[in-house]
Structure 1
Amino acid sequence: MRIDAHQHFWQYHPVKEGWITDDMQVIRRDFMPADLKPLLDKHAFDGCVAVQADQSENETLFLLELAADNDWIKGVVGWLDLQEHDLNEQLAYFKANKHFKGVRHILQAEPKGFMTSNSFVEGVKSVGKHGLTYDILTNETQLDDVLELVRSLPAMPLVIDHISKPDIKKQSFDHWAKYMKILSEYDHVHVKLSGMATEADWQHWTEKDFTIYIDFCLQHFGPQRLMYGSDWPVCLVAGNYDHIISALQSSISSLSLEEQGWIMGKTATKFYNLI
């Protein structure tokens, strides 16, 4: 299957989506399945994975309702409070829903040490014990903590969202590459080739801005641990769906069709157990 492994839906509310700043006004509106389906069809995708954007249980329920009504939403990565005393009961409840594939927390907004605290680490371990995945959303300044988190976890399916957000606009590379190389040594760690345009110069980026990062990920993780994600509709602040997928496909065009197939869907299908 061809899968867009990372996108979002929301019914816009200025408080709930308070992270959408004035310079992101293009995404200050509702984005629902009817908006995405034509884009997926245009690019011959079989489906997508809907990822949480709000840190609430209501968000998880909202995404699961959309998945129930749209069979092309193949999986949901929701949010749960991983430090709650009844976490295992919540995980068991949501795991019973075939669309619930994993959990994410917006770690990029948390202080240093949050993701390495014992209570949080134990929460992520519980996610893995229930046969679920965990999406790691951080920026490059947090990669030391990401490494500590990964080292403390069993071999459960982990994926680093948005290649951990290096500052592409400033061509930041060495610090990011140092930690990503070490993380690549952990076979259960995967990477989403997503969210790069929003870390670049929104108005002036080109496909070449991403080449060094994508090539590095290919070299160290390999196609079978990489997956494409549009990060739609957040990506719209920097380019439309056509621009985003074109940039990625151009960067992997020299790979074999089998290798491209892993990145464009097979990795996500296996990682999230979408079949």
Structure 2
Amino acid sequence: MIVDTHLHLIYRNRLSYPWLESEPALNADFTWDTYQREARRIGISSVLHMEVDVAPEDISAETAVVEELAQLPGSLLRGAIASCRPEDPGFAAYLERQKANPFVKGLRRVLHVVPDDVSEGALFRENIRRLSGTGLTFDLCMLPHQVDKAIALIDLAPDVTFILDHCGVPDIKGHGYQAWESGVREIARRDNVRVKISGIPAYGDPGSWTLEDLKPYFEHVIELFGFDRAIWGSDWPVCTLGGGLSTWVATTQALLHGCTTEEKDKLFSANARAIWQLD
């Protein structure tokens, strides 16, 4: 069975998503009902919701919406990775509220949607240090040229588990392997980082990517992190840009050809259950 650590839900009638205006392919409602119908068919048994960069005033409301969906009979939702703004003066109080909510398993601030100097600010870095001792993880979503920014954050809180989203966001369509591989290697040297095998179908050519296009990126991160430090995520609905949920699960199974049952179990389920103490 599969733990999906990276589901996005979009409810435009309940929350505001300013970035959707520039992403017409995703500017629609992507609901729990649509996702869970397909997820149950392909063996997904537990799900973590990943924040969707809602408008700042809707950050807490987004978590509340997901908690509401988690209360539905038979729901697969087990927790949320909530949005945060470490650059804001109110972060410390916000963090205390998240610590008190067992449904919140971690936090994320996407780095490539803000100027590079945002994560270099003294307040931002002070607030990343505040994560120490909380048990919350922090997802790193960044572009290859931002590796130094990510490493600086990772080194601030060595007891915090950082999750490198989407294999480090390589430019697969643009054949960006060389610009990506050395940075990921440097990040992998930090023992407190886990890599998320997610997102990469959307980085290939939407109409023509193949298994062979993705394989070098998958093999590189597994070589660096090993199966003990890798987890799986769908990145739904973004994965629909590169084939969809079932296609991504099948592709991952093909990438795992020749791996042991234990290795597959670690990637698809066991590691995520251990990191976030999921039932």
The TM-score with structure 2 as length reference comes to 0.91
1:262 equivalenced with 2:266 (yes/no): yes
1:162-218 deviation line (CA, Å, top 9, x unaligned): 112111001111231111111111111011111101111111111111100110111
2:269 partner letter: G
Contact 1:161 1:191 in 2 (8 A): yes
Q: 2 CA distance for matches of 1:23 and 1:158?
A: 27
Q: 1:86 offset after TM fit, Å?
A: 4.1
1:62 equivalenced with 2:62 (yes/no): no
Q: 1:50 offset after TM fit, Å?
A: 0.4
Q: 1:51 offset after TM fit, Å?
A: 0.3
Between 265-274 and 57-66, the greater mean CA deviation after superposition: 57-66
Q: SS of 1:123's equivalent?
A: helix
1:33 partner letter: W
1:42 is matched with 41
Unaligned runs of 5+ in 1: none
Q: 1 CA distance for matches of 2:23 and 2:84?
A: 29
Contact 1:147 1:179 in 2 (8 A): no
Match of 1:131 among 122, 131, 135: 135
1:200 equivalenced with 2:204 (yes/no): yes
Q: 1:138 offset after TM fit, Å?
A: 0.9
1:77 partner letter: I
Contact 1:230 1:241 in 2 (8 A): yes
Contact 1:160 1:191 in 2 (8 A): yes
1:32 equivalenced with 2:31 (yes/no): yes
Q: SS of 2:196's equivalent?
A: strand
Distance 1:68 1:176, change over 3 A: same
Contact 2:161 2:192 in 1 (8 A): yes
2:134 partner letter: H
1:219 equivalenced with 2:223 (yes/no): yes
1:91 is matched with 95
Contact 2:201 2:239 in 1 (8 A): yes
1:146 is matched with 150
1:17 is matched with 17
Contact 1:101 1:273 in 2 (8 A): no
2:48 partner letter: V
Distance 1:85 1:110, change over 3 A: closer
Between 36-45 and 120-129, the greater mean CA deviation after superposition: 120-129
1:227-246 deviation line (CA, Å, top 9, x unaligned): 11110011112212111111
Q: 1 CA distance for matches of 2:22 and 2:191?
A: 40
Q: 1:21 offset after TM fit, Å?
A: 5.5
Q: 2 CA distance for matches of 1:173 and 1:245?
A: 23
1:171 partner letter: H
Q: 1:68 offset after TM fit, Å?
A: 3.3
Q: 2 CA distance for matches of 1:140 and 1:126?
A: 26
Q: SS of 1:101's equivalent?
A: strand
Q: 2 CA distance for matches of 1:157 and 1:48?
A: 19
* Identical amino acids, percent of aligned pairs: 25
Q: SS of 1:46's equivalent?
A: strand
1:114 equivalenced with 2:113 (yes/no): no
Q: SS of 1:9's equivalent?
A: coil
CA RMSD of aligned residues (A): 2.1
Q: 2 CA distance for matches of 1:128 and 1:77?
A: 16
Match of 1:181 among 177, 182, 185: 185
The TM-score with structure 1 as length reference comes to 0.92
2:213 is matched with 209
Q: SS of 2:118's equivalent?
A: coil
Q: SS of 1:168's equivalent?
A: coil
Q: 2 CA distance for matches of 1:140 and 1:192?
A: 15
Q: 1:53 offset after TM fit, Å?
A: 0.3
2:9 partner letter: F
Q: 2 CA distance for matches of 1:232 and 1:151?
A: 30
Aligned length: 274
Q: 1 CA distance for matches of 2:173 and 2:61?
A: 35
